[in-house]
Amino acid sequence: MCNATSLTKLKEEIVKASKRKFVYPEVYEPYYHINGFGDKLLHIIPQDDAKRIWPADWKLIPDFHKGAPTDFKYNTLNARSEDIFTSNTYKKSAESGRCLILADGFFEPHTYVKPGTKTEKKQPYYITLPEQKLFFFAGLFNKLDEELYTVTILTLDANATMAQIHNAKKRMPLILDEQFTDSWIDPTLNEKQIKDLINVSFTNERLNYHPVSNAIYKRGVDTNKPEILKPVSAIDPEMDESRPTLF
């Protein structure tokens, strides 16, 4: 799963790093923590306009939904990469609606059970690439009209690092290695090539991670602030001993 992300870079930094310009630069503001259940606007490079950055609603709305977008009740913040070609919700997008979703960090919960008890506690972890560099999630989109993109982030089975962090669900978002970003939005790929790409395209860079405040789980708290990214003490001693140093 991945339902909370950050994109803290300035517009100018994103334009330089991505080699693309924003369609609506006035819409973009850096953010430190947003989640798909509330603030849902992400920024994407879509397959049908691969030279520009578009805003997009974080919740893919498929063509078969004929009502208002707000009436679509299914959770499509994430799509299981294993299922995208067998799902009526995602098949069309997997074939011709792939996108790069811009981010420089994301949040996942770690579950800790204190020895001798059955009580579970969850603590959020913030995960980045080295130096918190810009990266791209593999995403799918569907357009509701010419300018309204709706998107979902692909997930797959967790690798060793992410299985240690996201130890209950053991899933992770597909962060594309730089060598595969252009391939992901290549319109000429067939189903087999797309499936093969999913299997090999996860980043080869080290994931940095540290625990952050549980405030991100509380309603009515403004967590879109730089302080939310600061490390806190780990409740799981093993995680505190094993994590790489980020700050």
Global confidence as pTM: 0.95
Sign for the CA dihedral angle at 111, 112, 116, 117 comes to negative
- Print pLDDT tens along the chain (247 aa): 789 999 999 999 999 999 999 999 999 999 999 999 886 789 999 999 999 999 999 999 999 998 888 889 899 999 999 999 999 999 999 999 999 999 999 999 999 998 888 889 999 999 999 999 999 999 999 999 888 999 999 999 999 999 999 999 999 999 999 999 999 999 999 999 999 999 999 999 999 999 999 999 998 889 999 999 999 999 999 987 555 543 3
Cα–Cα distance for residue pair 225/2, rounded to 1 Å: 19
Q: Answer for the pair 125, 210: CB distance below 8 angstroms, yes or no.
A: yes
Question: 4-242 adopts what CATH topology?
Answer: hypothetical protein yedk fold (3.90.1680)
Q: Which residues of 127-151 are buried (b: 16+ CB within 10 A; e: fewer)?
A: bbbeebebbbbbbbbbbeeeeebbb
Q: Answer for the pair 45, 53: CB distance below 8 angstroms, yes or no.
A: yes
Tokens encoding 41: 């606007």
The residue with tokens 């693309």 is: 20
Tokens encoding 131: 């130096």
Q: Answer for the pair 36, 58: CB distance below 8 angstroms, yes or no.
A: yes
Element (H, E) at 16: helix 11-18
* DSSP code, position 151: E
Q: Answer for the pair 42, 101: CB distance below 8 angstroms, yes or no.
A: yes
